[in-house]
Amino acid sequence: MSTETRHSVNYSTRVDKVGIRPRLVRTIRALITIFIALTLLIPVVWMGMTAFKSRADAVASPPKLVFEPTLEGFVSLLTKRRQLTAEQKAEYEQRTDLNWADEIALERGQAIIGQSEYAQRLRNSLIIASTSTVLSVAMGLLSAYAFSRFRIPGEGDLLFFILSTRMLPPVVVTIPIFLMYREIGLYDTHIGMILLYTAFNLSFSVWLLKGFIDEIPREYEEAALVDGYTRLQAFVRIVLPQAVTGIAATTVFSFIFAWNEYAFALMLTTDTARTAPPSIPSVLGTGGIEWAAIAAGSLGFLIPVVIVTFLLRRYLLRGVTFGAIRQG
Amino acid sequence: MSNVALQHITKRFKDTVALDDVSFSINDGEFFVLLGPTGAGKTTTLRVIAGLERQDDGAVLFDEINVNQYQPAERDIAFVFQQYSLYPTKTVFDNLAFPLRSPLRKLPRNEIEDRVHEVAEKLRITHLLDRKTAKLSGGEMQRVSIGRAIVRTPQIFLMDEPLSNLDAKLREALRIELQHLQKTEGSTTLFVTHDQIEALTMADRIAVLQQGQIIQVGTPHDIYDRPATTFVAQLVGVPQINLMKASRENGTLSIHDSAVQLPIPDKLDVESEFLLGIRPEDIRPAADGDQHGEVVLTEPLGVETVIHMRSGKQTLLSVVPGITDYRIGDPVSFNIVQDRLHFFNLDGARV
């Protein structure tokens, strides 16, 4: 190549001035993201729709996209009902003290005779899931801190042991646990379920939190120790604020596990401590599957998880632990 | 403020001995510098004094009281870390106030505020008080971290290479500031550094640490003019001391592989072969000099010029004030200041 072939560059080569192309790329990216999000949301939306469908609409084929919303599903979910004979139904229709829920039941020839157990099951789920989450995160935090900061004899083996508690699938250990629980009176108790979920989540939270705490430089605590604080005070005032991201992530994961857990709950509870997951499918009810009721139950079941995740979303994003330590 | 003494401190990490029978004491109000290369055990010494590390052997005394069993908080010391270690989620004000808010001290709120402002003014960081520490520059961070130390009156200040992460200009400015601060407050300070200039300029006394052992303790003057070993001699002084093998024969001293010959000083009790140290400023080029060589390199630094001179196979460094007009290849004559020679045995110990 000789010098003659050299052209002068009389247009800008700055990337940010190229215009259309990057903007197009961005738009396409956004569209793809929206598409994926919508695809993933279809089952949830479908569930939400089914919850408001009438019995007939819920099983209609082809599926109905447009339908007349009804609270039938919620009524069947939240109440116990009795089938009425034709005479009884006529008698009921004369009464004036019926509320809207009674009306809906009556349309199907049923009378409400009490509350269903759904609310109580949901409360059990809430109590068990949140208590076990708090316990496993709190204990996990302390042991993760110890593993991260102190010289512990056999540290590697201990950590592996902790992890190994998670290696067996729940189904495998349910029977022995069932037998043990029955023997010591923990069967179908809140405490029993809380203990079980805490133990199960603990290995996970120790490992996850250890990773987060390892990343917090220990000079911060040492500065606090020297500045006149005890180990525990330094932990609370210096380490905790910086471990927030990790705590939030661990909380969400632990909560979701305990909230969704099915196998243990099915085997180890019957009534007092029964949680929502095994009880929702049992709304099957009399006379065919009540899809609307199941969908309504699932919808109610979904809400706490959404709330927890939503409250912690700010901390779930990375980048909270920026430091004032210069990496020399 | 109090005096601090270390007695026979030994500290091992797994297979390595970090500190080997380290003993020294720091007087009340003294600026004491621990000097040594990386890995010599300087930081470990600080951490042992602070109580962040427990020694395997030996005692730490504050005013003759053994504090071995004291927690770091109870020892009442202030630590300035190399990495600053400012609390990242707090503002500058909260960082400075943090030591004062310790449950050990229980100071009233307005006193805390007064003291923080007073310190901020002293270090000229008042305008930064509301900022988050992550948004500060390196120099500002180090100011805050020094402020966090001086906001209270501890037994002793421990400073772990506080200036080493700063750029040269800032380092010099902060060095002078720190020195001024220490002198006006009269605070007992233990300052760790690997930088011999920091050590010589700031210290009342210096302890030289090598591989976990104290080699020499003395004033900067002692360390520079009477280095205990060749290691110390080479550690302090820029350019480095000229250190060459030499031998004595019939009243003359000759440096190996060179033409340099000197009369032997009186009362010199040294083996027939030994190491000779000559500070560059003690080699003085002169037109009528007794020794002769050739200029191989000059480094004009403005205030002074370093002249590399060859005599035989040896290269001698000489420092002369100002800028000289010696050119590479010029023959040069020079004198060596006789009474400032340093003699070491072949194992490095001073004679």
Q: Name the pTM for this structure.
A: 0.78
**Is residue B335 assigned to a domain?**
yes
Q: Does the distance separating the beta carbons of A219 and B85 come in below 8 Å?
A: yes
**Is residue B236 assigned to a domain?**
no
The ipTM estimated for the assembled molecules is 0.83
B253 shares a domain with B149: no
Q: Mutation test of the interface with chain A: which of B48, B70, B83, choosing the one with the most A Cβ atoms within 10 A?
A: B83
CA distance, residue A50 to nearest chain B CA (Å): 47
B76: alpha, beta or left, given left = phi > 0 and alpha = psi -120 to 50?
A: left
Q: Quote the domain boundaries for residue B266.
A: 242-344
Q: What is the pLDDT of residues B282-315, one digit of tens each?
A: 999 998 988 999 999 999 999 999 999 999 899 9
Q: What is the pLDDT of residues B28-60, one digit of tens each?
A: 999 999 999 998 999 999 999 999 999 999 999
Structure tokens at A208: 């996850």
CATH number at residue B283: 2.40.50.140
Looking at the complex, does the CB of residue B70 fall below 8 Å from at least one CB of chain A?
no
**Is residue B41 assigned to a domain?**
yes
**Is residue B319 assigned to a domain?**
yes
**Is residue B351 assigned to a domain?**
no
**pLDDT value of position A39:** 94
**Is residue B180 assigned to a domain?**
yes
B171 shares a domain with B89: yes
B36 shares a domain with B136: yes
B165 shares a domain with B66: yes
- The interface residues of chain B toward chain A in range 153-212, judged by CB-CB distance below 8 A, are 164-165
B259 shares a domain with B115: no
Which of B231, B255, B280 is the last residue before a domain boundary? B231
Looking at the complex, does the CB of residue B84 fall below 8 Å from at least one CB of chain A?
yes
Collapsing DSSP states into helix, strand and coil, what is residue A219?
Answer: helix
CATH number at residue B182: 3.40.50.300
| CB < 8 Å to B77, chain A | 226
B18 shares a domain with B70: yes
Which H or E run contains B314? strand B314-321
Give the one of B89, B99, B141 whose C-beta lies nearest to A242's C-beta.
B89
Q: Does the distance separating the beta carbons of B165 and A223 come in below 8 Å?
A: no
B103 shares a domain with B129: yes
Give the one of A224, A238, A325 whose C-beta lies nearest to B84's C-beta.
A325
Looking at the complex, does the CB of residue B335 fall below 8 Å from at least one CB of chain A?
no
B294 shares a domain with B219: no
B192: alpha, beta or left, given left = phi > 0 and alpha = psi -120 to 50?
A: beta
Which of B166, B199, B231 is the last residue before a domain boundary? B231
Q: Distance from first CA to last CA of chain B, Å, rounded?
A: 38
Interatomic CA distance for residues B83 and A325, integer angstroms? 5
| CB < 8 Å to B79, chain A | 222-223, 226
**Is residue B237 assigned to a domain?**
no
**Which pLDDT tens digits describe chain A residue by residue (328 residues)?**
444 445 555 555 555 555 667 788 899 999 999 999 999 999 999 999 999 998 888 888 888 888 888 888 888 888 888 888 888 888 888 887 888 888 888 888 888 888 888 899 999 999 999 999 999 999 999 999 999 999 889 999 999 999 888 888 877 888 899 999 999 999 999 999 999 999 999 999 999 999 889 988 888 999 999 999 999 999 999 999 888 888 988 998 899 999 999 989 998 998 899 999 988 877 655 567 788 888 999 999 998 888 888 888 877 765 344 333 434 3
Which residue matches tokens 């809140």?
A190
Q: Does the distance separating the beta carbons of A227 and B87 come in below 8 Å?
A: no
Which of B180, B211, B231 is the last residue before a domain boundary? B231
**Is residue B16 assigned to a domain?**
yes
B33 shares a domain with B170: yes
CA A145 to chain centre: 25
B319 shares a domain with B187: no
Interatomic CA distance for residues B59 and B6, integer angstroms? 6
B246 shares a domain with B226: no
B260 shares a domain with B163: no
> Number of structural domains, chain B?
2
Q: Does the distance separating the beta carbons of B102 and A324 come in below 8 Å?
A: no
Interatomic CA distance for residues B147 and B140, integer angstroms? 10
Phi, psi of A47 (to 5 degrees): -60, -45
